[in-house]
Amino acid sequence: MTKLHELNQIGQSIWYDNIQRSLITDGGFQALINAGVVGVTSNPSIFKKAIADSADYDEAMSRLAAAGKSTNEIYESLAMDDIAQTADLFLPVYEATDGLDGYVSLEVDPTLANDTETTISEARRLFTALARPNVMIKVPATPAGIPAIRTLIGDGININVTLLFAVANYQAVAEAYIDGLEALAANGGDVSKVASVASFFVSRVDAAVDEALAAVGNTELQGKIAIANAKVAYALFHDLYSQARWQTLAAKGARPQRLLWASTSTKNPAYPDVLYMDGLIGPETVNTVPPATLDAFLDHGTVADTLETETAVAQKQVAQLADLGVDLDAITTKLQEDGVASFAEAFAALMQSTENKRAELKPA
């Protein structure tokens, strides 16, 4: 038994924040499954690194380029194939957990983050094309993304809501999920077959808040607000899913939209490398972990239920920010805007690296 199995006994699922063809073909994902990993997430940055920095895709790219496929068609073919094969590998996990875990996430084109209708149509297209019950489509929690999430859940599509930083934004996402399930149930759909996670980004909050705290001369709260903010969101999770409105859906087999901790690698080298794993362990949660952080946790992480401790302290720490003149709402709003821009830039870089390789590999 590994530490990941111990986390699972507490009620936390560990997903792997990485994907690459060699992990599929060389048994890497199967080894991770054996170690207790129960899901996978991807994003444009991950695909860029996989395609540009390895030879894993050269043969497939050569074939697609020779067939006259465009850069976008080549990328989508490669990415969809990776997602489909990985979903097939994790299908036994999905079945063994009765649909709780075993999911593989693919992101809608991040340049659509402010376009509700196109996000909806793209998410529908990707989910239909992949045709696997354990695929999640990633949609950002932007003002345009919230109504898209509501509609897509109402369609019965599994959604990984991404780029969450603020507790108020999380509440809007949770309400969109519940609205969507109610619409699905009203239309005769099976709410027990839909899954969703709300991906709360963690380390970036400390990076931004620490800078603001330094500007006002406070060191006491540095390195503490990201986890405190997550604990406040987790308390809200418990409140939302204990209400009568939710109980009506739960009676029909609906599952809560679990909080997923993302951006859990430590950005500040002065902080422990497992800070955002050790500090965010609790029931009904997911932590999606990049390779180096997962290795570090397996080596020297501590398994303990930490999310349900010192909630009042966390709330007090967050409240202190206002007294210090630090506007957490403004910081989290900017973090989301920056995150959208960063993902769009990564997608553009992914397209450029794919084009470069296509040109390199295409026969003369």
Phi and psi angles of residue 252, each rounded to the nearest 5 degrees, phi first? -95, 5
| β-sheet bridge partners, residue 135 | 104
Is 138 an annotated catalytic residue? yes
Cβ neighbours of 350 (radius 10 Å)? 23
The span from the CA of 202 to the CA of 344, in Å, is 20
Q: Which of 3, 48, 138, 357 is catalytic?
A: 138
The span from the CA of 330 to the CA of 337, in Å, is 11
The span from the CA of 314 to the CA of 317, in Å, is 5
| β-sheet bridge partners, residue 105 | 136
Cβ neighbours of 95 (radius 10 Å)? 12
Distance (Å) of CA 104 to CA 253, 264, 319? 22, 18, 36
Distance (Å) of CA 228 to CA 241, 306, 316, 317? 20, 11, 9, 7
What are the structure tokens assigned to 243, written together?
């209400």
Active site residues: 138
